[in-house]
Amino acid sequence: MPKILNVETAIPPYCIKQEEVALFAENLFSENFRDIKRLLPVFQNGDIESRHFVHDIDWFKKPRSFKEKNDSFIEKAVELGTEAIRKCVENTEFATYSTIDAIFTVCTTGLATPSIEARIMNHLPFPEHVKRIPIWGLGCAGGASGLSRAYEYCLAFPKANVLVLTIELCSLTFQHGDRSKSNLIGTSLFADGTACTLISGEESQCVKNAKKPLAKIFATQSTTMKNSLDVMGWDVKDDGLFVIFSKDIPAIIEDWFKPNVEKLLYKHDLSLKDIKHFIAHPGGKKVIEAYRTSLQLDDSLLDSSRGILRKFGNMSSATIQYVLKDHLKKDIQTGDIGIAAALGPGFSSELLLMRWE
């Protein structure tokens, strides 16, 4: 079965404290919300202390065109994506650029054709025959979906080594002229981040030479809820991408998520009691609480998700790889079973089961 060899991140340069963003939002939204003081606690109560952005906060104080924001997306995505890939490959024993067979690039916050990994290949010594598989539009579920698709690729080609690159620059979707509550909530929550994961098939020389226990992915499950297009996503307008973010997401998770997880576990003769590690995309404080309530999890299983949310905010698809990297630092016992989970537009979920061997 395919295994996870390494996860690395590339952190944008500007670390901005949550209170700074709250002051920015108060100044911007005060003309449109007479009760802005009543709404501002969303910044303090979201369990986020800081976030990282590709520009300083002054850059967002004036309107920017869709073209200007997307040009910035391409430039910064190439910079951060190159850094994340370089760290992932060069910090993995026995891996080299020449051993990489495919790159899955996951993104929902900017547009580029040629896609970002094609541009990155001009900066790093990849062989010209590397397969490129861009994945767009899966939002917060995209990181887990990318890992699942890489797992399936390595099942088909067991000698393969595959990179999953997630690049989300959520700040560049900020709409200066949008005074909706959805935009206010998004301003309190979303951030920029990039991550890269190396997954290898069981016959890969990198796996054979590994000297430590690795997380083996042994099952995945994708689920899409019908008639749920209005739960989250983008409304594409002349000025770019406007956030759709339903307040009902935590309630949907509590009602829908547990049967979904149990269905996957049942197929493999497992139950929730067998799960020692819960690698969850932290969509927000209420989403994390909905995970805990729905699955009746021990609170400690969500420590990594809370820690990443607190330090980095919601970086859409990249966030789960930040959580995964944090988990891989832990003292995990051989044979432990974990589940990775992320939710996104559609409304959809992506689940992965893994065992440390």
Q: Locate all alpha helices (DSSP H) within 279-346, ordered by sequence.
A: 285-295, 303-312, 319-328
Q: Is 175 helix (H, G, I), strand (E, B) or coil?
A: coil
Strand partners, 275: 337
Note if 154 is an active site residue: no
**DSSP β-ladder status, 50-53 and 3-10:** unpaired
Annotated catalytic residue within 15, 88, 107, 140? 140
Contact 258, 295 (CB under 8 A): yes
Residues ≥6 apart with Cβ < 8 Å to 114: none
Query: What strands lie across the sheet with 131-136, from one edge to the other?
Result: 131-136, 102-107, 161-169, 192-200, 3-10, 215-224, 348-356, 337-344, 275-280
DSSP string, 127-146: -TT-EEEEEES-GGGHHHHH
Strands (E), the chain: 3-10, 14-17, 50-53, 102-107, 131-136, 161-169, 192-200, 215-224, 232-237, 240-245, 275-280, 337-344, 348-356
Closest CA to 352 of 340, 342, 343: 340
CA–CA dist 95, 92 (Å, integer): 6
Residues ≥6 apart with Cβ < 8 Å to 31: 179
Contact 275, 341 (CB under 8 A): no
Write out the catalytic residue numbers.
140
